[in-house]
Amino acid sequence: MDTPPYRYETKTLIADYLRSGVGALLCLAPLLVVESGSVMVYILGALGAVFLAFGGRTWLRHRSGVALTAQGLQIHGPWPRSLAWRDLAVMKLAYFSTGRTKAKGWMELKLRGGGASMSFDSSLDGFDAVVAAALHAARANDLALSEVTRANLDALGFAMAPGGMPDDHL
């Protein structure tokens, strides 16, 4: 079950770098001409800091890899961490729509247990494999899954059998 590290899609990372850079530039460049002590300095500075933090998060995702093993998940990179399947205590799968229709959007998987917390979005190569392994571990650990998580698992094609076990993907 050990896999080579999964990574985030390059096109998603490039788009996030552009968003971060343009946002930071638009917020921080006016600080060169705004009067010190003005309320606008604090507003633009705070917004610029948010864009810079988003850029930092994108850099971390760019430099990190996610390894799926029989024992758990490992994130390799600047901020390494691991989560053993036997320690999995929380699994949440959420969908975020980017428009009025549910046709566009992304999913986010949040896992917690054993003092570790991890979150992955659907632009991760191998996202379905990570979800499948997490679902298998959640069932092995008798975790209760929320209705939202169950509905999102169903939307990904992880049909749940009457006993609450996944029918396929495992």
Residues of the chain with confidence (pLDDT) below 70: 1-3, 101-103, 159-170
Domain 65-155 has CATH 2.30.29: yes
CA-based radius of gyration for the chain: 19
Distance CA 161, CA 170 (A): 13
Domain boundaries, the chain: 10-63, 65-155
* Element containing residue 91 per DSSP (H, E): strand 90-97
Question: How does 70-88 read in b/e, with b if 16+ C-beta sit within 10 Å?
Answer: eebbbbebeeeebbebebb
As a dihedral over the C-alpha atoms of residue 131, residue 135, residue 141, residue 144, rounded to 10 degrees, the angle is 110
The model's pLDDT over 110-121, given as tens digits with 9 standing for 90+, comes to: 999 999 999 999
pLDDT of residue 148: 93
